[in-house]
Homo-oligomer: A and B are copies of this chain.
């Protein structure tokens, strides 16, 4: 900013419109305000507020509260009240993972209005997997009576390094994923922006929004699994890295020890199948049941997890570490993890289990869509786009 003069009128109109919308959205919950209250809240002139409200009503973003059920009826000299129409648009968050696809739907304030998930076989090719998510979305829209053209943004969380345009640069966890123009493919099904995000990145956004990391701005979230990944918030913002590969710690085990999780967790001489999480769950269950080989396998896996996590924590020094993925189904991961981090880290972070569990990725994808919608509706200054 080098001077305060010379703002153009359309920018001013947009600012005024945003100021009014913000006041109607309220700080915590939407509220219905009279013109006088809006003049007071915005410090704009009454004619300006009147003009802006007219425009917003025309755009479908504001309604007279009196027009709605439960609103004050107009009689005598009416004290018209206006409210933000959170239902003016819908947002969709999608997860496309190795074993399931999921979709969650919300209004413009992020209030959930529906969700649906479906299993998918880990060997499914890209086309089949995309068909599966499309069908899931169609059913969710149908069940909730949502018209597709009311969608204002779609967020997607999926494993791999994702480019800004939604192309998967590298994604070894899903068949046919590397090189897939996922954003472009999905955009054919929607007339609104589609924003694709790495699954661990989506998960950390979700935990920050409504999970274990609420109110914490420096967070590392590890999605434990056969192909582990991590997402980080630094100062409340997602850290994607220069090439979108930040937190792709799956290769760490190649260093020093040639030990992949599927080998560490095997109780025979043969490694597990890299995507067979059912077999993994079995090993954990047997370990809990006292089986010695399974317990040793689990110890090996935990040592590996601690190693990966310690490297991230030493590099980033977060306030909080959230463990999700498989580990959210594991009792007793946190205590050994805490003990080991105390040993290795100069300043160990707090450690917490994911609160959102298997809904984390789709919820984070919804947050991405919501961020996009909010930046369009409520942001005054030009901000970095959501992706």
The 0/1 profile, CB within 8 Å of B marked 1, for residues 96-123 of chain A is 0000000000000000000000000000
Contact A316 B349 (CB under 8 A): no
Bound Cα distance A22, B318 (Å): 37
Contact B349 A318 (CB under 8 A): no
Q: Does A43 contact B (CB under 8 A)?
A: yes
Q: Does A147 contact B (CB under 8 A)?
A: no
Bound Cα distance A310, B251 (Å): 9
Contact A255 B316 (CB under 8 A): no
Contact A248 B314 (CB under 8 A): yes
Residues from chain B with a CB closer than 8 A to the CB of A239 are 234, 316
The 5 closest A-B pairs by CB, nearest first: A241-B317, A311-B311, A315-B315, A246-B317, A243-B347
A to B CB contacts below 8 Å, 19 in the list:
A2-B22, A6-B43, A161-B346, A169-B347, A170-B346, A230-B315, A232-B315, A240-B317, A242-B319, A242-B347, A244-B317, A245-B345, A249-B314, A249-B315, A252-B311, A255-B306, A255-B311, A311-B311, A315-B315
Contact B347 A315 (CB under 8 A): no
Q: Does A75 contact B (CB under 8 A)?
A: no
Chain B: CB-nearest residue to A312: B315
Q: Does A3 contact B (CB under 8 A)?
A: yes
Known: A1-B380, A2-B19, A316-B315. A310 touches B243 (CB 8 A): no
Chain B: CB-nearest residue to A381: B1
Q: Does A344 contact B (CB under 8 A)?
A: yes
Chain B: CB-nearest residue to A16: B3
Q: Does A5 contact B (CB under 8 A)?
A: yes
Q: Does A4 contact B (CB under 8 A)?
A: yes
User: Residue A19 contacts which of B3, B252, B346 (CB distance < 8 angstroms)?
Assistant: B3
Q: Does A262 contact B (CB under 8 A)?
A: no
Residues from chain B with a CB closer than 8 A to the CB of A252 are 310-311, 314, 344
A residues near B (Cβ < 8 Å) are: 1-6, 15, 19, 22, 42-43, 161, 169-170, 218, 230, 232, 234, 239-249, 251-252, 254-257, 303, 306-307, 310-312, 314-319, 343-347, 349, 380-381
Q: How far is the CB of A122 from chain B (nearest CB, A)?
A: 21
Number of chain copies forming the complex? 2
Chain B: CB-nearest residue to A22: B2
Q: How far is the CB of A225 from chain B (nearest CB, A)?
A: 16
Residues from chain B with a CB closer than 8 A to the CB of A243 are 317, 319, 347
Beyond the given A218-B241, A251-B310, A311-B314, please list 18 additional residue pairs across the A-B interface where CB-CB is below 8 A: A2-B19, A3-B43, A4-B15, A6-B43, A239-B316, A242-B318, A242-B319, A245-B317, A245-B346, A245-B347, A247-B314, A247-B315, A248-B314, A248-B317, A252-B311, A252-B344, A255-B307, A255-B310
Residues from chain B with a CB closer than 8 A to the CB of A230 are 315
Contact B317 A251 (CB under 8 A): no
Contact A218 B245 (CB under 8 A): no
User: Residue A241 contacts which of B15, B256, B316 (CB distance < 8 angstroms)?
Assistant: B316
Contact B315 A255 (CB under 8 A): no
Known: A1-B381, A5-B43, A349-B242. A255 touches B344 (CB 8 A): yes
Bound Cα distance A169, B317 (Å): 14
Bound Cα distance A343, B251 (Å): 9
A4, A6, A251, A255: which has the most chain B beta carbons within 10 Å? Answer: A255
Residues from chain B with a CB closer than 8 A to the CB of A4 are 4, 15
Bound Cα distance A234, B19 (Å): 32
Bound Cα distance A22, B19 (Å): 32
Bound Cα distance A243, B317 (Å): 7
Chain B: CB-nearest residue to A43: B3
Contact A161 B347 (CB under 8 A): yes
Bound Cα distance A247, B5 (Å): 44
